[in-house]
């Protein structure tokens, strides 16, 4: 039977009571159960921040590493063992700021992983400084007179760079988010979901403010139309279209040709001859062995 619940996890939850991060945690758990992924088949990967603590609270494999470095770790994990369902779950500061470079190139590389961004539009763990998605003019705990620059348009950037599944979710909608996450995880290739996750401690707006501004992606939106997806992705201050913005047939996934050569199993179980070949290449690559 598939259970991924946190009840068996001895780690005490550090999030504020009522934080919408709990909504993402529950939605992800529900999505994994819906898809029938057992705990040992899932690896959650994160960097640093409030959001990045999520892997502590689900019973499955986890890698919680350096600030901004979740994406390369997740790609490595998935390439080493494609049987794992590898999911990055981290914050806007972590994935758009510190790790923005990695995310940009992941859109191009198309590894078969899912990236879930808890987008609270601030650095919450460090008490509310501006992040790449803080709206222009919004005051924060550090930018007292308001942020001076426009926010980064990451969803549009994802579409432009060939990400084949781009969606926005809302942490205040457990049912809708769990369905969206299940769809994202099932999508072959990189699937990217920006989840609106208001920080109720350091953020400028309560959950209710966002609830009023969340709208479904229009029923007549053609999610295979790149131009329409970019238009929909471009943020406006007063509305957040939630749902799948862009979804097209997967293009070749990262390391596909390598996998075609060595098979689908974990690298650790490769025949000795193949491992010896990898060791030989690494040895040739390492110039300074001291
Ligand atoms: C290399 C490095 N730089 C800065 C920090 C300090 N730091 C810790 S968490 C964080 C921001 C996290 O923001 P976000 O990813 O949005 O997560 P949130 O806390 O908002 O969920 C920063 C700047 C750090 N830990 N490591
Ligand atoms: S500080 Fe904000 S993001 Fe962090 S747990 Fe509290 S409400 Fe959630
Ligand atoms: Mg944040």
Ligand nearest the Cα of residue 97 is 1
The structure's pTM equals 0.93
For residue 197, which atom of ligand 2 is closest to its CA?
A: 3
Ligand 1 neighbourhood includes 103 CB (under 6 angstroms): no
Q: What pLDDT, in 10s, does the model give residues 280-290?
A: 888 887 766 65
Q: Calculate Rg over the CA atoms of the chain.
A: 19
Q: Which of 40-54, 120-134, 216-230, 271-285 has the lowest mean pLDDT?
A: 271-285
CA distance 123 to 130: 6
Q: Taking a C-beta distance cutoff of 8 angstroms, is the pair 112, 184 a contact?
A: no
What pLDDT is attached to residue 191? Answer: 98
pLDDT of residue 52: 98
Tell whether the model's pLDDT for residue 156 goes beyond 70.
yes
* Integer Cα distance of 255 and 112 in angstroms: 9
The CA distance from 135 to 122, in Å, is 10
User: Where in the chain are all domains bearing CATH 3.40.50.970?
Assistant: 6-253
Q: Mean per-residue pLDDT for 108-115?
A: 96
Q: 220: CA distance to ligand 3 center in Å? A: 32
Q: Which of 39-48, 223-232, 244-253 has the lowest mean pLDDT?
A: 244-253
Q: For residue 149, what pLDDT is reported? A: 96
Mean pLDDT of 130-150: 94
Could you tell me what percent of the chain has a pLDDT over 90? 78
**Beta strand residue intervals within 53-151, DSSP E:** 61-64, 85-91, 114-119, 122-123, 129-130
| Amino acid 231: pLDDT | 95
Ligand 3 ion: residues within 5 Å (CB): 91-93, 120, 124
Return the DSSP state at 239. Answer: B
Return the pLDDT at 2: 47
Strand partners, 64: 46
pLDDT > 70 fraction of the chain, expressed in percent and rounded: 94
| The pair of three-digit structure tokens given for residue 259, joined into one six-digit string | 């996998």
**How high is the pLDDT of residue 121?**
97
Q: What ligand has the least distance to the C-alpha of 125?
A: 1
Rounded-to-integer distance, Cα 77 and Cα 61, Å? 11
Dist CA 184 CA 191 (whole Å): 5
Give the mean pLDDT of 230-243.
88
- The first and second tokens of residue 147, run together, are 């942020």
| Range 130-149 average pLDDT | 94
Q: Do residues 193 and 114 touch, judged by C-beta distance below 8 A?
A: yes
Length of the chain: 290
Confidence of residue 269 (pLDDT cuts 50, 70, 90): confident
Summary mean pLDDT of the chain: 92
Q: Cα angle vertex 278, ends 276, 281, to 5°?
A: 110
The whole-number pLDDT of residue 289 equals 60
Give residue 57's Cα distance to chain centre. 16
Across 192-214, average pLDDT: 95
Q: Which CATH class is domain 6-253?
A: alpha beta
Question: 3-state DSSP call for residue 169?
Answer: strand
How many angstroms separate the CA atoms of 272 and 220, rounded? 54
Which of 196, 198, 202 should be mutated for ligand 2, with most atoms under 8 A from CB? 202
């Amino acid at each position: 039977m598939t259970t991924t619940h946190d009840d068996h996890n001895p780690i005490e939850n550090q999030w504020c009571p009522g934080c919408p991060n709990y909504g993402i945690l529950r939605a992800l758990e529900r999505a994994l159960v819906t898809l029938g992924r057992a705990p040992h088949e899932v690896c959650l990967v994160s960097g640093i921040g409030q959001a990045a603590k999520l892997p502590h609270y689900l019973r499955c494999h986890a890698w919680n590493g350096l600030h901004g470095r979740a994406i390369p770790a997740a790609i490595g994990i998935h390439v080493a063992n494609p049987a794992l369902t590898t999911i990055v779950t981290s914050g806007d500061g972590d994935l758009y700021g510190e790790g923005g470079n990695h995310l940009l190139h992941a859109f191009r590389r198309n590894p078969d992983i899912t990236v879930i961004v808890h987008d609270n539009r601030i650095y919450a763990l460090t008490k509310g400084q501006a992040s790449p998605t803080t709206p222009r003019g919004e005051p924060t705990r550090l930018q007292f007179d308001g942020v001076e620059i426009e926010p980064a348009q990451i969803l549009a950037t994802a579409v432009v760079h060939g990400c084949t599944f781009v969606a926005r979710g809302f942490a205040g909608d457990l049912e809708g988010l769990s369905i969206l996450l299940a769809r994202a995880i099932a999508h072959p290739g990189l699937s990217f979901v920006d989840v609106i996750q208001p920080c109720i401690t350091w953020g400028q707006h309560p959950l209710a403010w966002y609830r009023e501004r969340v709208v479904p992606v229009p029923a007549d939106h053609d999610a295979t139309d790149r131009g329409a997806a970019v238009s929909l992705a471009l943020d406006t201050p007063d509305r957040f279209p939630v749902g799948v913005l862009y979804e097209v047939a997967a293009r070749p996934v990262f390391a596909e040709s390598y996998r075609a050569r060595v098979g689908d199993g974990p690298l650790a179980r490769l025949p000795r001859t193949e491992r010896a070949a990898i060791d030989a290449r690494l040895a040739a690559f390492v110039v300074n062995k001291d």
